[in-house]
């Protein structure tokens, strides 16, 4: 009887204490994990989806492609406009040169071998022509050397026609056939020296609008001839095509001649 009473008392004490301990034990229960989708926390996925990170790959590639195509389009348009402008400038210059009526008519001169020469002798050839005189101290040698450099540059490019270099004297009093022969041999083997009488030189100079005037003679009967400084280009039809002043380099002249060769269409064929 005493054992049963003791067990009942112990059970009542445990129930009394349990009613006080249970709320505290409920605090120790583990919290439920966050809901997931495919093993990933919804909260984390939501934050990652709503964040503003780097753009997705396909979108970035598309933007780069559009930018590249836009830049290529601008570049192509600029190049086309530049080419059209250059062609228009050349056409305007060619038209202006034609209206200038330079190199009209024929001429009759002697070359440095004593052979008569006229304009028709050079038909079918590209010609670079310079007016000067053999006693010129510096300008004429410099310009003839530049002319020779142009001819050599063009000779070095396969497929281009040969250009005939010509030197015409504006000092017929001193530049006879023998003087021209001695002078031209120092420049280029194909350089052709032309001279003639006072009237013949005056005629060809007027035709190409070349100014020249002999200065006063010194005590040694020497003098300087003031004259126009330009290299003339004639096409295979014998027509004046372009001219080049002292400011143009051999490279620039050679490039210009090649452009004229590329656009040339004979009007006599």
Which residue numbers belong to the known binding site for Cu cation?
136, 140, 227
- 187 Cβ contact list (under 8 Å, min separation 6): 144, 145, 148, 165, 167
Given phi > 0 = left and psi -120 to 50 = alpha, else beta, which region is 38? left
Asked if residues 227 and 244 have their Cβ atoms less than 8 Å apart, the reply is no
* DSSP line for 168-207: EES-TTT--HHHHHHHHTTT-TT-EEEE--HHHHHHHHHH
Indicate the Cα dihedral angle 180, 183, 185, 187, nearest 10°.
-120
Strand order in the sheet with 126-132: 116-118, 108-111, 192-195, 163-169, 126-132, 231-234, 240-244
Supply 195's token pair.
């001279």
Tell me the β-bridge partners of 118: 108
User: What gap in Å lies between CA 264 and CA 259, rounded to an integer?
Assistant: 9
- Binding residues, as ranges, are 136, 140, 227
Taking the alpha carbons of 183, 189, 191, 193 in that order, is the dihedral positive or negative?
positive
């Amino acid at each position: 009887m005493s054992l049963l009473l003791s067990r009942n008392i112990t059970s009542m004490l445990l129930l009394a204490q349990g009613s006080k301990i249970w709320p505290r034990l409920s605090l120790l229960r583990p919290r439920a994990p966050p809901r997931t989708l495919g093993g990933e926390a919804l909260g984390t996925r939501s934050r990652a989806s709503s964040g503003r990170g780097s753009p997705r790959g396909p979108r970035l590639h598309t933007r780069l492609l559009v930018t590249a195509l836009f830049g290529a389009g601008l570049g192509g348009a600029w190049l086309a406009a530049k080419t059209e402008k250059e062609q228009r400038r050349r056409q305007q210059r060619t038209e202006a040169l034609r209206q200038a009526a330079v190199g009209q008519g024929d001429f009759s001169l002697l070359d440095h071998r004593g052979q008569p020469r006229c304009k028709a002798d050079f038909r079918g050839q590209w010609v670079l022509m310079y007016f000067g005189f053999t006693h010129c101290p510096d300008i004429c040698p410099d310009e003839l050397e530049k002319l020779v450099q142009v001819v050599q540059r063009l000779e070095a490019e396969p497929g281009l026609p040969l250009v005939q270099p010509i030197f015409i004297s504006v000092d017929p009093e001193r530049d006879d056939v023998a003087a021209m022969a001695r002078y031209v041999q120092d420049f280029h083997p194909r350089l052709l020296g032309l001279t003639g009488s006072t009237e013949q030189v005056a005629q060809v100079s007027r035709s190409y609008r070349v100014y020249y005037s002999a200065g006063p003679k010194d005590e040694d009967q020497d003098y300087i001839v003031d004259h126009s400084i330009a290299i003339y280009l004639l096409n295979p039809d014998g027509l004046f095509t372009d001219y080049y002043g002292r400011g143009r380099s051999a490279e620039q002249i050679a490039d210009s001649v090649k452009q004229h060769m590329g656009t040339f269409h004979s009007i006599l064929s």
